[in-house]
Amino acid sequence: MSGSRLTIGEGEPLAAKCQTEIEVKHGVGLHARPSVTFTRLAKSFPCSIEVAVNGSDIWLNGKSIIKIMGARIRKGSILRIRADGILAEEAIRALKELIERNFDEDKKHGRTA
């Protein structure tokens, strides 16, 4: 993960730009439930969040369920996720962890990893 942070006053983050790359390992990729989980988490942050798939130069709005589901992100896809603005670093970390946890689907269905 790379990024920079500007601060004001008591170390409060003013703005940051961060980016990370991660492989989707979820069995069927970002179908409906994982896409909803991803975009819901993305929307919880005030910064902009964008996603590029498999080295594409096309950046999709990471808060748009239509854009994320429409990208047909499959298992093995490489996602580049970038965030810009307040709490960008935290947003990137949370989204990357969500993907690493397979969107918490194992927990929801009573299965263990």
Beta-carbon neighbour count of residue 108 at 10 Å? 10
Q: How far apart are CA 104 and CA 59, in angstroms?
A: 25
Burial of 91 (0-12, 13-18, 19+ CB in 10 A): buried
The owner of tokens 């298992």 is 75
Of the residues 29, 31, 78, 85, which is catalytic?
Answer: 31
**Active-site residue flag, 31:** yes
CB-CB contact of 113 with 105 (8 Å): no
* Catalytic site positions: 31
